[in-house]
Structure 1
Amino acid sequence: MVASGNQSCLAIDSYAEDIRNQSARNVDEAELVGFSDSKKRLLEMIDTNANDGPAKVICVVGMGGLGKTALSRKIFESEEDIRKNFPCNAWITVSQSFHRIELLKDMIRQLLGPSSLDQLLQELQGKVVVQVHHLSEYLIEELKEKRYFVVLDDLWILHDWNWINEIAFPKNNKKGSQIVITTRNVDLAEKCATASLVYHLDFLQMNDAITLLLRKTNKNHEDMESNKNMQKMVERIVNKCGRLPLAILTIGAVLATKQVSEWEKFYEHLPSELEINPSLEALRRMVTLGYNHLPSHLKPCFLYLSIFPEDFEIKRNRLVGRWIAEGFVRPKVGMTTKDVGESYFNELINRSMIQRSRVGIAGKIKTCRIHDIIRDITVSISRQENFVLLPMGDGSDLVQENTRHIAFHGSMSCKTGLDWSIIRSLAIFGDRPKSLAHAVCPDQLRMLRVLDLEDVTFLITQKDFDRIALLCHLKYLSIGYLSSIYSLPRSIGKLQGLQTLNMPSTYIAALPSEISKLQCLHTLRCSRKFVSDNFSLDHPMKCITNTICLPKVFTPLVSRDDRAIQIAELHMATKSCWYKSFGVKVPKGIGKLRDLQVLEYVDIRRTSSRAIKELGQLSKLRKLGVMTNGSTKEKCKILCAAIEKLSSLQYLYVNAAGYFVPRFYFLSSSPTEDTRVVWKS
């Protein structure tokens, strides 16, 4: 990193320093509620009594606002634990654009005393221009035989640590010195720390979070227990804050100026308060600092998270697939686009911008979440940059000319003036939007790249789907579990750029041969559902009397749900549903999809032997799901021979429930040692 006196760099440093100081003061005011265990565990990692051995590096890692700086400051200022055990100690705040010479001067001043720095500068004065190596050589020489304790607060980049470690600390110090680093970056922490000395600071426990909010609002538990409305609001606010100390303290400070009766109104308007209320500036800065420090390729990926609803569990595959379709993922030599996209995902996790939620058996992150407060601020940034339009239904939507992404959360409608012809992505969560009352895919959506209907709560019909081929630029298509689609139109072959086709719950029994024209397809998920309505009769004898009324409900004019309700009412029965998934028939020509990496689920019984054989041509396939129910032994052998050729296969799912299980074939023909095979029989 090059030293710079640039005013913008100094402004950024000042900006970041202000955030850290304000955050630390806030947590300090709260007397570190809920931090006693964290302090104890961190002190156990810091070997205060060791008088020999090389210097150890301990890392405290976690998202912004958790109290990393405040916790480390409490330990640093501890007379009993630190001051009496380490004659030399220093607290160094590292910024992304720090000045190398000034940092070294600060270390010398704190570790060796102001007089040492003054004497060194006086000796150099008039002889040479002070350079890094002058200060470095002096500092390393003086620290060789000294026991020191240094905190490097808010480190962002591994390169900065490598430079500081090389230029400031002696290699052969055997005095049991200790270095504590605070950072948001998990990957950096693991690379810096000695052995496994990484402390992951977590969110507060619920009881501690409530205590913290009450203390900041000058209330106590007795006040809360005597006021049910207050108790309800305290719990809602703590949940909204996600048990993040900085969020609780900042919002608590505002609530302290209001009557309890005003808390609910403030809570309801919190997203807009985060944008305009000066008292919440620390929270805005916490998020914007992390966002500003993101490399350029990660910024649109992070803002894209604002599309998803509050407290939503986001699937990794879904997010990465959408990033790729939007063109956010840049190609890299020797890596697939999906691998690059997943590296972006992991980087956002490592930078503590998003939190892991569900982890698979193999340790891979399946889903993630974005903290509620961070999401609200991210939505604000997205609006400012005109990145995403989230219709609010209250007339406050600002529709600008270059809006490209739109997400509906429920049956909201957006203001008139939206130019649908330039929309690149459309996502719907919940009920059908009023703006799309007549068609999910309006004719104007000709430039659409992403259509995500995975979480709708209304029925996607065949009529909605038949015009899909008009969206000739579509790259990502996902339909959720509420669909009555029974056929994939042959015109699907016109979607030459389609990369992801996700239809996990339809009535489609077979894929058309035109699917083989989708040369860009890398993910194909399609299964056929069977839904059975079961009725438990309280009065079986009355069933005979009422059966004469049944024919009128068993007509195409009555939907399945309405029919089930009428039957239940007619016979005074209790209704329950039973769902089962089956595979789909894949056509001959499936082997042409050479970029395919995920294929689920193939009905081996109904698929021709030739098409089964072609599965072996899918050399990039990583994940395969097959259903062998009722298949002949001959088809299973052909399948096994095809699987043997899949050198990239990592996951194989076989469902053979209730039928002949060709297990001995699969066990003898696993394509690679790393392939994970899951059986259901």
Structure 2
Amino acid sequence: MDLIVGASSNAVKSLVGKLGSLLAQEYTLIQGVRDDIQYINDELASMQAFLNRTKRAGSHDEQRQDWMKQVREVSYDIEDCVDDVNHRLGHEPRGNGKLMYIRKKWYFLTTMYVRRCIAAEIGNLKVRAQQVSDRRTRYGVDNLRGSSSEPVVADAPTDRVAPPPELIGTKQPVGVEDAMNELGGWFKAEQRTTQQSTEKRFLAIFGFGGLGKTTLAMELYRRFGDDFDCRASVQASQKFNLLMILRSLVKQFHEQQAGASLNDPLEGIEEWGEKDLRKKLVHQLKDKRYLVLIDDIWSVSAWENINDSLPERVKCGSVVVTTRFKSVAVACCRRNGRLYDHKPLLEENSYKLFRQIVSSAPDNASKASLYGQILSGTPDNPTKAPSGDHIVTSASDSPTEAASHGIIISGAVGNNPTKAVAHGQIMSGTSDNPIGDAQALLKKCGGLPLAIIVVAGLVASKLRSGTSSKPIDNYLAEVDKALSGGLETHLSTEGVTKVLDQCYNDLPADLKTCLLYLSMFPKGSFVSRKRLIRRWIGEGFIIQKHGKTIEEVAEDYFNELISRNLIRAVNNSSNGKVKTYQIHDMVLEYIVSKSSDENFITVVGGHWQTPFPSYKVRRLSIHRSAREEKETVERMKLSHVRSLTAFDSFKALHSCLLKFQILQVLDLESCRDLSSHQLQKICKMHQLKYLSLRRTDIEEIPAEIGKLEYLEVFDIRETEVSELPQSVGGLKRMTHLLAGNKSKRKALIMTEEITKMTALKTLSGMGICGTTTAGMVRFTRKTTATGLFKSASRGSCKQVLQALEKLTNLKKLSLYILGKLEEEDEILLLSAIEHLSSCSLKFLAVDDGFTGFLEESLSSSKAPPEHLHTLELCGNLFEVPKWIVSMHGLEKLTLSLTSLRTDTLMLLSELPELFSLTFSLDAAKSKNGSALEILHKNTMNSGGEIFVPDGGFGKLKLLRLLAPFLPPLSFVEGAMPTLQRLELRFRTAYGVPGLENLASLRQIFLAVSSKAPKAAEEKKRLANKIEKNPPTVIVDEYNESSME
């Protein structure tokens, strides 16, 4: 129930500030209204003080819970009213003089009705606030006695050290090898029977929730999927939707077709019926061996519908199913099937999983060492640790880095090993059997992986927040006690829910709010970290604290949810930060239920049944837009919705769009049916702070966008928008403008109006037009008389480049396309880059499209961008700028493949903080004759092979080579000593000799173009050629056509 506390206290805190601001402004209000506002402000301040005390209590009785709900609801209604006042009366004339006097009188007359309505609303809200306050004392809600014995909930963490960058987000699953070996035979049998049988084969994995069925199935899917011609995975659910599943299968199979082009034959697929989708599947799978994974089927009827939709008598189809119910599994395997009863983890594997998670938790080396000693046995006998993990015993090893990779440290730490061991003896001396304490805790988890990782995350969190002098057993005992109530030795699905409940209750109130917000997203979604954080900020969940920016606080919250294992990283960016995350089905089911109970988020068309909201809807998430969902939305009270998210389709909202008058967050990513007429209605939602139109088919932004004066985030990436209207210059609060399509080299024209948004921190996907654009790729599908850009005068280009220097708050600038600039314009652009780099700029990306800016201007900079953390230079770059060695803080570097030479690598090896290095050349540029000529010349100048030198690259963990044609690259002994991951994406490659010289290499990722001659053979040939024991080789295929 602390969600109520968190949501209530945050709502009140935000509102008190707004009311104070409202009182400070000299609006012409009806007499007595200002006194009412002051009364409401004072009452809410008192409520906030009470809520702050309540946040520190561990639990609340029903009276207190109900009262906090009332506080939250009245706070939201008051805030709605305040925002309405600011919008409707926010343009009152200011100044003196006769003309201004006349304007004021006219304003007074024309707003009389509005002010009377506002006065009546504020009067009603005053009465409600007074009633809520009276109830607190009338029913004894303010009596907090008896809560002192409850566990104290800590504040949300903001003083944690940011986790070190990671490359491999998904660790190898623990305890599935036996099952993999057993079920691997089923896949191998499929290969043997391919020629003899055309019948579908079935594998059904069953067991209750949290057991790891999906983990096992996905590991099988990854390991054996490349043996099939095509594969796809879908998620079923409690609320079964056959059309959605068939649509997903068709889309996935389409993406794997060689030569799938921009002329998409799936246009209008959202309107296809069951018959059309089945027909398309039959066509796609004709004469192909396919693999389909269907996760979490709840009923026999659902299975029969899916099975009937998959074609019969094809070359050979294999279907893997996971379900919680044995009856469903039996139905799946009635013919030509294999049944597998998935069991809980054995005690040894449970312990190994628990230790793997907790060992990587501490923020400092001492805690890492101490806990490593406890779990390994005693300081004098570290050999008791189970095998499978590396044991670091040298004082010279880096304990912080080792801990970040899940390595147990059992020896001396830092410069004072004696002190570390002494602390370990003190901590382990509190119990005769420290391992037994951990094992007793694990017994309550019953071998369920989900329960183990969540409990381990809870223990790890307490380790991070505790003091180094506190015995480790105290943390284990504290968690053990919290889990003891009502848990049986052998957990069921209900038991897992109780574990989640305890871990949820341990969260600070602010983190509860942020966690429950994740129920917005559909089951199985891979969600962008940046998207989530920007939405948290837009919702007002994050405030500045402890000297950190609002973005840094949000990052802390996200990292805490990751470290507690309530969400898991799926993909990491090349800078080592989490790129996308996913939430386990059972955790999502839990928070969806919580959100529904508290009227925090209303989900329509989701995977689980939720009751119709009895309160005003505050946040609405629409997962499906069929007729049933449309009717459900139309019956809701929508005038108080603050946040609206629609996935894939906008249909359910067509008839009620004008009801969303106080909307602050609107996310329509991938809603292809959004029309320009509806976009004009959206531009009347004057309180919008966050607007995402990403991956919609919008081609033009209406001029009314300039009326959204509170807009802070505007995402139009992967749309057909090439230019913004002049009115955007009035969006003074805009902090993130995200545009363009990097993979297809489309950009948004940089205009002088954009440079008027002086609050901008991120400006991504821009194109700067020159006076000549000949030879450049097009901007959008629609070409103009001048080709790439609309014609630009010499004066307008000069003005844009001069005005660019005004954006001194910019932290990220991405220029996807440059037209051919005059010499004077190149000087202006270079000057702007130098100036912005001396201010706040940390990320710079420039693609000059082989126009010569990089080679002729940027390389000769007299004031290079030395303070950047990320630099991307793509295009005509034959030689790396010499000044690059002065960038001592550079962590991520991307260069055109044309600069890949032995002397380039020797120069870059001197960069002390470089974490990620990429050389790339997209398919379109590879057709440029000069680019191929440069690549050939570089190779010949290096003796026919480019060598990676020994020494240097002290922190480099990731090397990527992305181009249709990869030159021969050889690693000499001692090269890149810390490199962990090597990524190669190509159509043709000559091999990569010397991989055995990469001492730290853990993973090689190969992506072969679908245009490669005999792509499958090419993948296997290179994989076999570079296969060696330590690294894992992952082989995939990419569609080159979609990237041109």
Question: Which digits, 9 at most, give the CA deviation of each residue in 1:269-310, with x for residues without a partner?
Answer: xxxxxxxxxx53222222222222111222211111000011
Q: 2:592 and 2:662 mapped to 1: Cα distance?
A: 24
Cα distance per residue 1:350-390 (max 9 Å; x no partner): 22221112112221211111111101111011101111111
**1:434-456 deviation per Cα after TM superposition (whole angstroms, max 9, x unaligned):** x32447xx111111111101132
Residues 1:436 and 2:653 aligned together: yes
Contact 1:420/1:445 (8 A) holds in 2 = yes
- Does the 8 Å CA contact 1:329/1:341 hold for their aligned counterparts? yes
Query: Among 486, 492, 500, which residue is 2:699 paired with?
Result: 486
In the alignment, what sits opposite 2:299? none
- Per the TM alignment, residue 590 of structure 1 is displaced from its structure 2 partner at its CA by 3.2
Query: Which one-letter code corresponds to 2:734 in the other structure?
Result: L
Verify: 1:341 aligned to 2:554, yes or no.
yes
Q: Tell me the secondary structure at the aligned position of residue 421 of structure 1.
A: coil
- Give the direction of change, closer, same or farther, for the CA distance of 1:58–1:465 in structure 2 (3 Å limit): same
Aligned twin of 1:610: 799
The residue type paired with residue 498 of structure 2 is R
Residues in 2 aligned to 1:142 and 1:429: alpha-carbon distance in whole angstroms: 54
Q: Which residue of structure 1 lines up, in the alignment, with residue 709 of structure 2?
A: 496
The change in CA–CA distance for 1:181 and 1:452 in structure 2 (over 3 A counts) is: same
1:135-214 alignment runs, 5 A limit = 150=434, 155=459, 156-158=461-463, 161-162=466-467, 165-166=468-469
Report if aligned partners of 2:430, 2:473 keep a CA contact under 8 Å in 1: no
Residue identity in the other structure for 1:619 = T
Q: Distance in 2 between matches of 1:677 and 1:343?
A: 25
Once residues 520 and 563 of structure 2 are traced to their aligned partners in structure 1, the CA distance between those partners, rounded to angstroms, is 21
Distance 2:566 2:376 in 1: 23
Name the amino acid aligned to 1:477: L
| Cα pair distance change 1:422/1:56, threshold 3 Å | closer
1:493, distance to aligned residue in structure 2 (A): 1.4
Partner of 1:679: 873
Matches within 5 A, 1:329-478: 329-332=542-545, 334-392=547-605, 397-411=611-625, 412-413=629-630, 414=632, 416-433=634-651, 435-438=652-655, 442-456=657-671, 458-478=672-692
Q: CA deviation at 1:332?
A: 2.8
Which whole-Å CA distance do the structure 2 matches of 1:584 and 1:488 have between them? 12
Letter in 2 for 1:399: P
Structure 1 33/601 Cα, relative in aligned 2: closer, same or farther at 3 Å? Answer: same
Change over 3 Å in CA distance of 1:42–1:595 after alignment to 2: same
Match of 1:166, SS state, is: coil
Q: Pick from 572, 580, 584: which aligns with 2:744?
A: 580
Listed as ranges, the matches of 1:85-104 within 5 Å are none
- The residue number in structure 2 matching 1:655 is 847
- 1:378–1:298: structure 2 CA closer, same or farther, 3 Å change rule? same
Could you give the per-residue CA deviations for residues 438-478 of structure 1, whole angstroms, max 9, x where no partner exists? 47xx111111111101132x332222212222100000000
Q: How does 1:223-234 map to 2 (within 5 A)?
A: none
Unaligned runs of 5+ in 1: 14-22, 47-52, 61-70, 83-138, 169-177, 186-248, 254-278, 530-578
Deviation digits for residues 620-650 of structure 1 (CA, Å, limit 9, x no counterpart):
2111111214333432321111111112212
**Contact 1:602/1:625 (<8 A) preserved:** yes
State the secondary structure of the residue aligned to 1:454: coil
Structure 1 counterpart of 2:370, which letter?
V
- Number of aligned residue pairs: 441
Aligned partners of 1:590 and 1:614 also within 8 Å = no
CA shift in 2, pair 1:58/1:166, >3 Å: closer
Contact 1:420 1:444 survives alignment (8 Å): yes
Q: Judge conservation of contact 1:617–1:645 (CA < 8 Å) in 2.
A: no
Conserved? CA contact 1:622–1:650, under 8 Å: yes
* 1:518 maps to 2:731: yes
Report the counterpart of residue 260 of structure 1 in structure 2: none
Quick check: 1:286 aligned with 2:591?
Answer: no
Displacement of 1:494 in angstroms is 1.1
Shift of 1:183: 11
Change (3 A) 1:355 1:589: same
Q: Deviations along 1:212-262, whole A, 9 cap, x unmatched? A: xxxxxxxxxxxxxxxxxxxxxxxxxxxxxxxxxxxxx99x97xxxxxxxxx
CA distance in 2, matches of 1:54, 1:340: 24
Report whether the alignment pairs 1:33 with 2:248: no
Aligned residue in 2 for 1:302: 515
Seen in structure 2, the aligned counterparts of structure 1 residues 448 and 336 have a Cα distance that, compared at 3 Å, is same
SS of 2:535's equivalent in the other structure is helix
Compute the displacement of 1:675 (Å).
3.6
- Contact in 2 for aligned 1:625/1:652 (Cα 8 Å): yes
Q: C-alpha offsets along residues 120-155 of structure 1, whole Å, 9 cap, x if unaligned?
A: xxxxxxxxxxxxxxxxxxx99999999965367564
Task: State the one-letter code of the partner of 2:690.
Answer: Y
Q: Kindly provide the amino acid, as one letter, of the partner of residue 866 in structure 2.
A: T
The alignment status of 1:644 with 2:834, answered yes or no, reads yes
- The letter of the residue matching 2:434 is V
Most deviating of 322-331 and 146-155:
146-155
Once the two structures are TM-superposed, the CA of residue 397 in structure 1 deviates from its matched residue by 4.1
Return the alpha-carbon distance in structure 2 between the equivalents of residues 340 and 510 of structure 1. Answer: 34
SS class of match (1:281): helix
Deviation at 1:488, TM superposition (A): 1.9
Q: Does 1:622 align with 2:927?
A: no
Contact 2:604 2:624 in 1 (8 A): no
Match of 1:537 in 2: none
* Distance in 2, Cα, partners of 1:182 & 1:666: 57
Tell me by how many angstroms 1:31 deviates: 7.6
Identity %: 26
Structure 1: distance between partners of 2:352 and 2:741 = 54
2:929 paired residue number: none
| TM-score, structure 1 as length reference | 0.56
Matches of 2:633 and 2:690, distance apart in 1: 26
1:522 and 1:3, CA in 2 relative to 1: closer, same or farther beyond 3 A? closer
